[in-house]
Amino acid sequence: MTAPTQTVPNPEAIAEEARKAGPFARALDGYAERHEDVIGVTADLSKTTDMNLFRERFPERFINVGMAEQSLVSVASGLEMAGYRPIATTFAVFLTRRALDFVAMQISLHSANVTVVGGLGGLCSTFGPSHQGIDDIAHMRALPNFVVLDPCDPVEMEQATVAALEHEGPVYLRQLLGKEPVVLDRDTHKFEIGKAVRLREGSDLGIVASSIMVKHALDAAEQLAAEGIQASVLKVSTPKPFDGDAVAELMAECGALVTAENHLLAGGLFSCVSEALALRGLGGRVVPVGMRDEYGSFGTLEYNKVQHGMETKSVLAAARAALDEPSPR
Amino acid sequence: MTLSNAVELQEVAHRMRKSVVRMAAGKGEGYVGQGLQMADLMAVLFRSEMNWKPEPGDDPEADRFVLSTGHYSIGLWSAFAELGLLGEDDLDSYGEDGSRIIMSTERGGGVEGVELTGGSLGHGLGVGVGIALGRQLRGHSGRTFVYLTDGEVQEGSTWESAMLASYKQLDRLVAVIDVNRVQADGPLVLEVEPVSEKLRAFGWWAEDVDGNDIGEILAGFEAAAKVDDRPKALVCHTEMGSGVPLILNRERNHFVRVAAHEWDAVKSEVEEP
């Protein structure tokens, strides 16, 4: 009844996992190669959180605690106290709902150098409300000391993984597995924590977008341009610390905004944008696209997007509402 | 200086009890009953069993101490006072606004040697397992002690950690489980016994001792030291208020309230070894 002690890497298994590796696995692999103190921990979700390559490459630095998320977080915290730089993965729902007290007390409060990774953020799971992390950003952004990262595509996922590991202090990284459409240019995009980036310029309307909704925002802006309406698209991949100045600038330029997020409106991007504008005393309408006080559905992401109004046409409808009535009633 | 003599350790425990009473006196509240019940265990741990220092850094031989039960900080402060890490002024500020000598524990809260943020129960064993696991991987010989209490045995997280600890053969992890059979709502509202049998079923070495008998505690740690293939637990049966009859006999002695005029009696009742 003792732990199998696999500590010698198996070249065939490594090659196999390297073929399947997503952006997270690739970035972690390179970083862990250069930093011997990186230790990976997961709770029976190695495969589905893209940790298999790490497991094969660094078996002596891989710990699977079993299906036990409170243990996952506690162990990661303890490993940091023993001199390691832990990165812990599970699904966003289990990390931020089930284990939140542990994240707060054992990572956030004393600002531990621990990266926690939440898989299946937003509506990305077909398995319904139990697996869809539509509230993870709200929970994590409420924890002091935490940096919260919500990359928008596979290019950014890879870069954000490195940024998370380089950051001193706790980071929540909302994971993408790499099957999402690419919107950023690998050669020119350089992810920076806390910096929102304009992907398109236009002064008729501002669209603030995050996660997989960035693609829909860009597509909507393209369609609006065909109608002679020029929209800016501001990509926000760091819900915390939030780039409120970039949002304020956009509102000052355009007079009305649309937000588009793969998350509940409560506590997510719409909240961040609204707070930033209120703090600065800026008016103007903000029309949100995202989950409205409801849970997701069983079924594919495409089905869920239709069910919950998170398509390109949803962004277009929001844009028209914002343009029709830019000022608050 | 490490002590192995039970008589000397009883004197240590006596000094710790006086510190506990000093901290709680006049406050009308405070975890005096728990602080008193812990004194014998803390005396043995900090003056005999552990090779402990407040800042272990990367010392491979240093023992680490994780107090899981935040509101048992009163016992930790009394041990720190015994080691000269805290002074009388510190003890007198126990629980006061702005004091770092809080009624719980906070990592990074201004007192060197506090490893864990307590308060939310059932966290200590998991963090202790993480520390022990990391140190096992790094080849450290030092041990990791986790002090937890019977109420925390009711937390599911404790058992997640217990399962992992034995699977990973954390033979340098030592749990001290203080069973006083009292919790926030009074006498145990959910039976936890048999604690040691449960732990053995989880792959641990476990033995029951009288947690207010220094001789038994010393023997328990001696027996544990001979086990080198699994995590170890001393299940320590204690009595709240041990060593001060007035407190011991109070019926409602969780977060005990002692009237202002009674504290002099309590102080004089701290029993000589």
Q: Which residues pair with B209 in a beta bridge?
A: B236
Q: Pick B130's closest partner by Cβ from A2, A82, A105.
A: A82
What count of Cα atoms within 13 Å lies in the side-chain half-sphere of residue B269?
Answer: 18
* Contacting residues for B191 by C-beta, under 8 A, at least 6 apart: none
Helix, strand, or coil (residue A136):
helix
Look at residue A125 and tell me whether its pLDDT is greater than 90: yes
Residue of B61, B63, B107 to mutate for A, most A C-beta atoms under 10 A: B107
Report the pLDDT value the prediction gives residue B29, as an integer from 0 to 100: 62
Q: Pick A3's closest partner by Cβ from B107, B157, B169.
A: B169
**pLDDT tens profile A85-95:** 999 999 999 99
Amino acid identity, position B222: E
B100 interface with A at CB cutoff 8 Å:
no
**pLDDT tens profile A167-201:** 999 999 999 999 999 999 999 999 999 999 999 99
**pLDDT tens profile A259-292:** 999 999 999 999 999 999 999 999 899 999 999 9
Q: Which of A112-121, A320-329, B254-263 has the highest mean pLDDT?
A: A112-121
Question: Under an 8 A CB cutoff, do B166 and A74 touch?
Answer: no
Sort out which chain A residues have CB atoms less than 8 A from B107's CB and list them: 109-110
Sort out which chain B residues have CB atoms less than 8 A from A65's CB and list them: 160, 164
Sort out which chain A residues have CB atoms less than 8 A from B169's CB and list them: 2-3
Q: Which of residues 121-150 of B touch A (CB under 8 A)?
A: 122-123, 125-135, 137-138, 140
Distance of CA A130 to the CA centre of its chain: 18
Shortest Cα–Cα distance, A79 to chain B (Å): 5
Look at residue A327 and tell me whether its pLDDT is greater than 80: no
| Interval A75-99 mean pLDDT | 98
- What percentage of chain A reaches a pLDDT higher than 70? 97
Pair A232, A260: CB distance under 8 Å:
no
**How far apart are alpha carbons B207 and B223 in whole angstroms?**
9
Sort out which chain A residues have CB atoms less than 8 A from B168's CB and list them: 3
Question: Under an 8 A CB cutoff, do B160 and A68 touch?
Answer: yes
Question: Under an 8 A CB cutoff, do A70 and B131 touch?
Answer: no
Look at residue A2 and tell me whether its pLDDT is greater than 70: no
Pair A138, A272: CB distance under 8 Å:
no
Residue of B143, B160, B230 to mutate for A, most A C-beta atoms under 10 A: B160
Residue of B68, B112, B117 to mutate for A, most A C-beta atoms under 10 A: B117
Sort out which chain B residues have CB atoms less than 8 A from A66's CB and list them: 160, 163-164, 167
The confidence band for B26, taking pLDDT boundaries of 50, 70 and 90, is confident
Helix, strand, or coil (residue A320):
helix
- What percentage of chain B reaches a pLDDT higher than 70? 96
Report the pLDDT value the prediction gives residue B251, as an integer from 0 to 100: 53
Count Cβ atoms below 10 Å from residue B67 Cβ, excluding itself: 27
**pLDDT tens profile B61-108:** 999 999 999 999 999 999 999 999 999 999 999 999 999 999 999 999
Q: Pick B127's closest partner by Cβ from A1, A78, A111.
A: A78
Report the pLDDT value the prediction gives residue B252, as an integer from 0 to 100: 53
Helix, strand, or coil (residue A226):
helix
Distances (CA, A) of A50 to A29, A54, A176, A207, B262: 11, 8, 9, 31, 63
Burial of B248 (0-12, 13-18, 19+ CB in 10 A): middle
**pLDDT tens profile A128-170:** 999 999 999 999 999 999 999 999 999 999 999 999 999 999 9
Report the pLDDT value the prediction gives residue B28, as an integer from 0 to 100: 65
Q: Pick B129's closest partner by Cβ from A75, A80, A111.
A: A75
Of A210-214, B215-219, B240-244, the one with minimum mean pLDDT is B240-244
Q: Is the pTM of this model over 0.90?
A: yes
Q: Which of residues 149-208 of A touch B (CB under 8 A)?
A: none
| Interval A12-23 mean pLDDT | 96
Q: Pick A1's closest partner by Cβ from B116, B126, B203.
A: B203
**pLDDT tens profile B118-176:** 999 999 999 999 999 999 999 999 999 999 999 999 999 999 999 999 999 999 999 99
Average pLDDT, rounded, for chain A: 96
Helix, strand, or coil (residue A90):
strand
The confidence band for A322, taking pLDDT boundaries of 50, 70 and 90, is very high
Shortest Cα–Cα distance, B131 to chain A (Å): 4
Nearest to residue B78, comparing CAs of B117, B123, B30, B126?
A: B30
A82 interface with B at CB cutoff 8 Å:
yes
The beta-strand segments (E) located in chain A are 38-42, 62-64, 85-91, 115-119, 147-149, 171-174, 197-200, 205-209, 231-235, 256-264, 285-291
Q: Pick A71's closest partner by Cβ from B126, B131, B137.
A: B126
The confidence band for A329, taking pLDDT boundaries of 50, 70 and 90, is very low
Shortest Cα–Cα distance, B184 to chain A (Å): 20
Report the pLDDT value the prediction gives residue A3, as an integer from 0 to 100: 56
Question: Under an 8 A CB cutoff, do A102 and B157 touch?
Answer: yes
Three-class DSSP labels, A257-303: EEEEEEEECCCCHHHHHHHHHHHCCCCCEEEEEEECCCCCCECCHHH
Residue of A81, A90, A113, A145 to mutate for B, most B C-beta atoms under 10 A: A81
Sort out which chain A residues have CB atoms less than 8 A from B152's CB and list them: none
Pair A246, A237: CB distance under 8 Å:
no
Q: Between B253 and B66, where is the model more confident? A: B66
Report the pLDDT value the prediction gives residue A325, as an integer from 0 to 100: 80
Pick the residue from chain A with its C-alpha nearest to B115: A81
Report the pLDDT value the prediction gives residue B271, as an integer from 0 to 100: 87
Q: Which of residues 58-77 of B touch A (CB under 8 A)?
A: 58, 64
Shortest Cα–Cα distance, B124 to chain A (Å): 8
